[in-house]
Amino acid sequence: MTSPGFVYDQYSARESLSFWYRWFTRSGWKRTKEDVVLELKSAYAIAKLRKSGYSKKKFYEEAVDLYKEINTQMANGDKGLLRKSVTENMYSALKNEIKHRETVWSNVYWELIMPIVKMRTLRARLIGVDRNDLNKVFVQLTLEFLSKQKFEAYDSNGAVVAGDKNKEVLVRDIWVFEKSLFHQGAYWRLCGRIKV
């Protein structure tokens, strides 16, 4: 098994609660308990990941490289190289996205302005694949990228139909990366993108 094929616990932003509502209402206490459980799940997944040699700094460097690589491959329509960087289900979705885009635009220019403005881990989850062996797990990390990008799309005559490559745009993306903790030579791959 190279991937579970789904995003285990889809991230969604939680509405912030006022201090009084959180601590002095029954539903506030219930929500606080849910928030604590979510944080404990992430902490457990990160602790398990650290035992395998995980370093947040190194992972963030890898994630930025993957982010840039995948977006560049998408812009170039390079399906062959894309296959290595993403899971099977994600590859199918991105391949369809490229096909659809090519019916509208013939060419795309995309550029990531470095450094990334902001990056943070929103969620970490473990997915067990064998009840009898707790070490057979996949880990999924949900990251938020806030970056400056340049984008321009062209029609078949080379005329600009969308974007402007002279303007930087601030873009927020939420991507889910996945890695097997029990396969030798496993590496991080994109397994999902969450609509913002």
Domain housing 76: 59-194
Mean of pLDDT values over 75-93:
94
For residue 154, is it within any domain? yes
pLDDT digits (tens, 9 = 90+) for 149-183: 999 999 999 999 999 999 999 999 999 999 999 98
CA distance 10 to 90: 15
For residue 9, is it within any domain? no
Confidence at residue 129, expressed as pLDDT on a 0 to 100 scale: 84
Mean pLDDT of the chain: 94
For residue 35, is it within any domain? no
Confidence at residue 3, expressed as pLDDT on a 0 to 100 scale: 87
End-to-end CA distance of the chain: 30
CA distance 11 to 42: 12
* Residue with the larger pLDDT of the pair 131 and 126: 126
CA distance 118 to 165: 22
pLDDT band at 121 (very low <50, low <70, confident <90, very high): very high
CA distance 90 to 67: 14
Query: Domain containing 179 — which CATH number?
Result: 3.10.450.240
For residue 130, is it within any domain? yes
Confidence at residue 151, expressed as pLDDT on a 0 to 100 scale: 96
For residue 111, is it within any domain? yes
pLDDT over threshold 70, residue 1: no
pLDDT over threshold 90, residue 196: no
Confidence at residue 2, expressed as pLDDT on a 0 to 100 scale: 83
pLDDT digits (tens, 9 = 90+) for 132-144: 887 889 999 999 9
User: With pLDDT > 90 as the criterion, what percentage of the chain qualifies?
Assistant: 85
The pair phi, psi for residue 167, each rounded to 5°, is: -115, 135
Q: How many domains does the chain have?
A: 1
3-class SS string, the chain: CCCCCCCCCCCCCCCCCCHHHHHHCHHHHHHHHHHHHHHHHHHHHHHHHHHCCCCHHHHHHHHHHHHHHHHHHHHHCCHHHHHHHECHHHHHHHHHHHHHHHHHCCEEEEEEEEEEEEEEEEEEEEEECCCCCCCCEEEEEEEEEEEEEEEEEECCCCCEEEECCCCCEEEEEEEEEEEECCCCCCCCEEEEEECC
For residue 15, is it within any domain? no
Confidence at residue 177, expressed as pLDDT on a 0 to 100 scale: 98
For residue 3, is it within any domain? no
pLDDT band at 191 (very low <50, low <70, confident <90, very high): very high
